[in-house]
Structure 1
């Protein structure tokens, strides 16, 4: 076996699996050292060209050592934080959880004197952010994968997607704003990273930028094409630093997915400045940002050598602040990335999941329950304000998180309840000084632009009633409308001052005891997490990383109303960490979990539909090979004493055809990854 450049990646692709991948891979004669899984080049000849792949491997050669150092430091920091959390357990004996004297890892320094988690002393001067003209304006952002031409075209045409009964005031406000939406073209948590999806997404985005993308659905007789004007502005989210790709091997090593995906995007679209804005997920501190800046600098120098017309400094980066370490280093990360940094957003599902991982050994920590409809309003305030306080003075763009609740088609009551939640989330984020937010479906884009424009009118002319009229048009039922208007015109939820002893924990929503919505260990909360996670994992394994799963909200009277929640891998990470903590700290027994798991399996198998519960991902011919694996993976994710850092450590092998195409994928995975999976 070849020397492993980045041993961290063996947590995702064990050495025996890599050996088999290398045995099967086909060498690329004109790119020495590179080999690809069979069939990739044949499927995507215009993307996986010799020149493009040569560009990617050059980036890898120039950055692999520094990337390895970054990932080694991550592992060392994880061990330090776990050790300190265990030490805090001793220090916290008989200390109440909400006491100012309660100790956590926040603010602790390692043996070199380096502060591992928590804010650093402020600098006196900071670099101002340079926002390209194309990125100015409202940041209403549709988020979803570009892995199919149909989805990419729908996302690009989102502004033109008018609902049949769109209120006239929505049309008026959208036209008045003159804004076009952004599209977070997600090659990360919304996507199963098979080569067909990752490379297919690159192919689709090339067609978006050069305006050639079309698609015909022969079965439905429907043709899809890009609109002539007012298209969304795509911003690709590349995979995080931690993910390797076993389908592209260089001297036996898996190429990092972020280098592959970024490199292909830059190589093929260097002449389109609007294509050179990226979301980067899961950075943890300014040290990792320094690696990223050097990577970008090398990429720009290399593309400039190939194309002298390329304008240096064209790349811009949005950082998704979704880690409990990164949230306290927003401005330091921005400074480390200057002049490439353009703004930041908050991915709150991953944010809560990673906070749960940080405090995993603390038995008093409780993650905010997934059933809480007001998480953003009540528990994400401090991080919203921190983002605004950090980026406003330096001119950075500030984007909130995702509104992922979708209404049930044809159900007016479901639509109205979704609108109540949507309007609340948007208004809360605007009150907190943010410039935009994410939505999970094109149908919400125009309404989002209208809400923002109505808010701007009210800011400019106090007493303007446009926002009230818009709300009444979107939520016509008086029993829903009145409390919503009261909420919109009331003050924001109370928060913590910076000098509050619990402020740092408050930023991480780590200052909660038992939820007043439902306890984390309540059977209904456990069931909900199992039910959603199982369906998501089965569909992810099938190749779909973005799944709208049925759920319940409640109207103003408390009556349950069916909705759908757009789940991606971040929401499942959040579910598994909540379940893991309840099992590890023995608030839920293994026997109880196994019983509830089996009941949810039986419910899914039956395809049952009840007044309060529905299956979305049915157990059928398409999923029957994946559901048993999803069950095994979920058990491993939540029942292991030492859980994997990321669910993808267990999932990534299932993106390889050598396992996916096997008669029994689970058996094949166990054969190729001995010790990696539990039977």
Structure 2
């Protein structure tokens, strides 16, 4: 009773370490706004998460994903989304990355069409990272952001002439913010990230004709999109914004969502600007959705590219769907980073990026993602050649006939020892860096985020738990193979203290071992890892 009385008097509790200047962000008015968001939407969020679990249980029992019979009228109806604002008409090259001040400055100064400031897969959600990111974005919107290298060697300043459009990605519906309790419950990470950013920046961005704009991750159903629409309408009303001012792009990065793309667009039709092929998380979702289906095990990650039939069908159906409804169809990520000291290898990597972007532009995408500023000229050149106008919505792709079977057809391929060991190594290295507070990590000249680790550990789990699989050299894929690979890492990474997360390598090994041996595939790697932060 005493605890209930205390919560009535003080309904919000901040459990994170007190950081210098946090009162400027977490003002009484801002905290009151977060309380109202929680009370209005937490029960609905939990209902949607319960619906996810129920549907996954049906998949585990043998059901296959399919287009919904109850929403056929939406798919077959003649409707379009609201007109796109001028700032979002041309999105041919978008750069993505975490929300630390240096990244924010470099991204907004990069010359990209848009910058997706990511609170999700490329930001480790420590309390310090989240508040530092919110502060950096607030200063960026105000035009006052700068950053000095710790050794004083370089001063980074936001270019006032930058035309790069800011788009913010909050965390997904499944993630909590453990450092903020409302009425004794954890606040949604989604509502914390988006709500706090909107509270401080929405009016300023609206005055500039720049939104605010958001990317919405990890949606699995139209009802989850409809919940976001409710949240955004609530925020618009509370902050005095015009109806539909807050525009969103939805990442199609879960297998269930590909069967509801029309429905997701319809649920958000007053504010949606497009859909994005979040291909790495999409592969992870395929693995997770079919975790109990022995006939849908995928080969090693390097063999699961966008030319594989199920991924080609997914991307082309997304283009067809978006263009029919007047929305952008955004392409996927190029994660390569410059290979210092090896110009031949670097040019080979750039050639792979160029080929991937040519595939996207030729298929009809309206823009694409890169992880590093050095890739912007490559991607821009490709899209400038293929897309003289601001987008390709006139490309309707009536030739695409992606039925249910095409969208779930497994890839053909093999598992090599190198591919198996690479999954183990990348998972451990990324996890170690994440546990040390880094969400975006360079590994083997790729800028990796949580999606890469999710694919790797989900593949390991499915290969090992289905049994009777072999490497291409005939070696059984079993827990002895996994244990040997895992135990070899400390010596393989002998210089690990020089690596991101070097101090957490042993903890990461233990966590991957635990998750891989578990009888159930964990829903998200970041859920148990978050409790260790």
TM-score if structure 2 supplies the norm length? 0.90
Work out whether 1:145 is the aligned partner of 2:98: yes
Give the Cα–Cα distance (whole angstroms) in 1 for the partners of residues 33 and 216 of structure 2: 20
Q: How does 1:63-142 map to 2 (within 5 A)?
A: 63-85=41-63, 105-107=64-66, 122-142=75-95
Work out whether 1:225 is the aligned partner of 2:114: no
| Cα deviation, residue 602, structure 1 | 2.0
| Cα deviation, residue 41, structure 1 | 5.5
Preserved contact between residue 318 and residue 342 of structure 1 (Cα < 8 Å)? yes
Which of the numbers 457, 460, 463 marks the counterpart of 1:576? Answer: 457
Name 1:589's counterpart in structure 2.
478
CA 1:230–1:623: 2 relative to 1, 3 Å:
closer
Aligned to 1:376, the other structure's residue is in SS state coil
Which of the numbers 503, 525, 528 marks the counterpart of 2:419? Answer: 525
Name 1:278's counterpart in structure 2.
214
Name 2:434's counterpart in structure 1.
540
Name 1:556's counterpart in structure 2.
none
Which of the numbers 152, 155, 166 marks the counterpart of 1:234? Answer: 166
Aligned to 1:234, the other structure's residue is in SS state strand
Q: How does 1:366-377 map to 2 (within 5 A)?
A: 366-372=297-303, 375-377=305-307
Name 1:599's counterpart in structure 2.
488
Which of the numbers 214, 238, 241 marks the counterpart of 2:146? Answer: 214
Work out whether 1:261 is the aligned partner of 2:160: no
CA displacement 1:221-246 (0-9 Å, x = unmatched): 21110113134211111100000011
Give the Cα–Cα distance (whole angstroms) in 1 for the partners of residues 152 and 314 of structure 2: 45
**Which has more radius of gyration?**
1
Which of the numbers 491, 509, 512 marks the counterpart of 2:411? Answer: 512
| Cα deviation, residue 150, structure 1 | 1.1
Aligned to 1:626, the other structure's residue is in SS state helix
CA displacement 1:570-614 (0-9 Å, x = unmatched): 11100011111110011211111101111233201x23xxxxxxx
Name 2:36's counterpart in structure 1.
58
| Cα deviation, residue 60, structure 1 | 0.9
Which of the numbers 341, 348, 351 marks the counterpart of 1:420? Answer: 351
Name 1:329's counterpart in structure 2.
260
Aligned to 2:168, the other structure's residue is in SS state strand
Preserved contact between residue 432 and residue 500 of structure 2 (Cα < 8 Å)? no
Preserved contact between residue 158 and residue 231 of structure 1 (Cα < 8 Å)? no
Work out whether 1:35 is the aligned partner of 2:13: yes
Preserved contact between residue 40 and residue 195 of structure 1 (Cα < 8 Å)? no
Which of the numbers 610, 615, 626 marks the counterpart of 2:504? Answer: 626
Q: How does 1:392-407 map to 2 (within 5 A)?
A: 392-407=323-338
Q: How does 1:362-511 map to 2 (within 5 A)?
A: 362-372=293-303, 375-379=305-309, 380-456=311-387, 498=401, 503-508=403-408, 510-511=409-410
Q: How does 1:302-341 map to 2 (within 5 A)?
A: 302-304=238-240, 310-341=241-272
Across the aligned residues of Structure 1 and Structure 2, the Cα RMSD in angstroms comes to: 2.7
CA 1:182–1:38: 2 relative to 1, 3 Å:
closer
Preserved contact between residue 142 and residue 438 of structure 1 (Cα < 8 Å)? yes
| Cα deviation, residue 623, structure 1 | 4.1
Structure 1 unpaired stretches of 5+ = 5-26, 86-104, 160-179, 305-309, 461-495, 551-563, 608-617, 656-679
Name 1:19's counterpart in structure 2.
none
CA 1:458–1:398: 2 relative to 1, 3 Å:
closer
Name 1:290's counterpart in structure 2.
226
